[in-house]
């Protein structure tokens, strides 16, 4: 299964009675490969389900990193968007999503589907790179916390796998709802991807809340006047929302 090809195509266009049809007239096929790592997370969310004595994790998110290849269209910054469905009891599942690779001169957009066997992906990509069409295999390591590691497009030694997925009735595991909230109106003293500190306007002690996702604070900076709301989760203040005033 470990094959990866890039087709640069001449496309014929036919326009008649308001319709346009494109078809492949000729192609130059070249083997290609790339290594991919995407481990920087953004807006990763996981829901856990338990039923029939099995536990499932459904994770969606974005991971960024780098693709390295001698093929220019496949060499550059990489962004991975995935939905992962994983049975932690059987250590088996699958992922669906997309992989984008951007360089200064071109961009690749690939659809991605793979089987996940105990954190090892074996799958297939298809899409466009520059003016070419891409078909190829993918092997990689994947976890919801670590993202994609040791990704190999068109190479690698992963074991081929297949799964049959069937519907099953189950309920989301009950998550504790925050019962205590903190509201602060004042000036940001410090902010990072992991925490934010606001000095209240009334002169009382500064309040610090943990940040779950760096995107929650990417529009504010030190010195901004804001309204911040935090919730108490497991005994710690966690940012719920923040907005400039």
Sequence spans of domains, the chain: 4-172, 181-244
pLDDT, position 166: 66
**β-bridge pairing 181-191 and 76-87:** unpaired
pLDDT, position 175: 44
User: Do 116 and 142 touch, CB atoms closer than 8 A?
Assistant: yes
User: Do 189 and 198 touch, CB atoms closer than 8 A?
Assistant: yes
Closest by CA to 204, choosing from 175, 179, 183, is 183
Arithmetic mean of pLDDT over the chain: 82
Higher-pLDDT residue of 96, 50: 96
pLDDT over 90, % of the chain: 49
pLDDT digits (tens, 9 = 90+) for 158-188: 666 676 776 666 655 544 455 578 899 999 9
pLDDT, position 232: 83
The pTM score is 0.61
Task: Please classify residue 188 by burial: count the beta carbons closer than 10 Å to its beta carbon, then call 0-12 exposed, 13-18 middle and 19+ buried.
Answer: buried
pLDDT digits (tens, 9 = 90+) for 104-123: 788 899 999 999 999 999 99
pLDDT over 70, % of the chain: 80
pLDDT digits (tens, 9 = 90+) for 27-64: 678 888 899 999 998 888 888 888 778 888 999 999 99
| CATH architecture for residues 181-244 | Beta Barrel (2.40)
238/234 Cα distance (integer angstroms): 9
- Average pLDDT for 114-140: 91
> Which DSSP state fits 213?
-
Q: Which two tokens stand for residue 41?
A: 């997370």
pLDDT, position 177: 54
Closest by CA to 231, choosing from 183, 161, 163, 168, is 183
pLDDT digits (tens, 9 = 90+) for 199-220: 999 999 999 999 887 778 888 9
pLDDT, position 213: 77
pLDDT, position 236: 83
> Which DSSP state fits 74?
G
Closest by CA to 140, choosing from 156, 126, 154, is 156
- Average pLDDT for 55-79: 92
Q: Which two tokens stand for residue 186?
A: 């004042």
Q: Residue 223: is its pLDDT beyond 90?
A: yes
143/84 Cα distance (integer angstroms): 9
Residue 9 pLDDT level (bands cut at 50, 70, 90): very low
Q: How far is CA 113 from CA 11, 71, 116, in A?
A: 27, 22, 10
With tokens 């306007």, the residue in question is: 201
Residue 157 pLDDT level (bands cut at 50, 70, 90): low
User: Do 180 and 58 touch, CB atoms closer than 8 A?
Assistant: no
With tokens 């494109």, the residue in question is: 22
Q: Residue 20: is its pLDDT beyond 50?
A: no
């Amino acid at each position: 299964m470990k094959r990866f090809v890039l087709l640069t195509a001449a496309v014929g266009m036919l326009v008649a009675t308001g319709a346009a049809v494109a078809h492949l007239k000729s192609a130059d096929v070249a083997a290609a490969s790339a290594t991919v790592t995407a481990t920087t997370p953004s807006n990763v969310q996981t829901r856990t389900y338990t039923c029939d004595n099995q536990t499932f994790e459904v994770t969606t998110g974005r991971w960024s990193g780098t693709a390295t290849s001698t093929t220019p269209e496949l060499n550059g910054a990489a962004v991975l968007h995935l939905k992962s469905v994983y049975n932690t009891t059987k250590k088996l599942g699958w992922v669906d999503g997309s992989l984008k690779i951007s360089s200064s001169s071109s961009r690749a957009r690939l659809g991605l589907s793979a089987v996940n066997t105990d954190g090892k992906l074996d799958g297939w990509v298809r899409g466009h790179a520059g003016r070419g069409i891409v078909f190829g295999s993918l092997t990689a390591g994947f976890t919801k916390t670590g993202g994609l590691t040791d990704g190999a497009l068109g190479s690698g030694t992963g074991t081929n796998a297949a799964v049959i997925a069937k519907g099953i009735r189950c309920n989301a595991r009950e998550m504790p709802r925050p019962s205590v909230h903190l509201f602060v109106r004042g000036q940001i003293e410090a902010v990072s991807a992991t925490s934010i500190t606001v000095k209240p306007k009334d002169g009382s002690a500064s309040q610090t809340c943990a940040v779950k996702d760096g995107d929650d604070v990417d529009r504010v900076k030190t010195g901004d006047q804001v309204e911040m709301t935090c919730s108490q989760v497991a005994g710690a203040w966690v940012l719920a929302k923040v907005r400039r005033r």
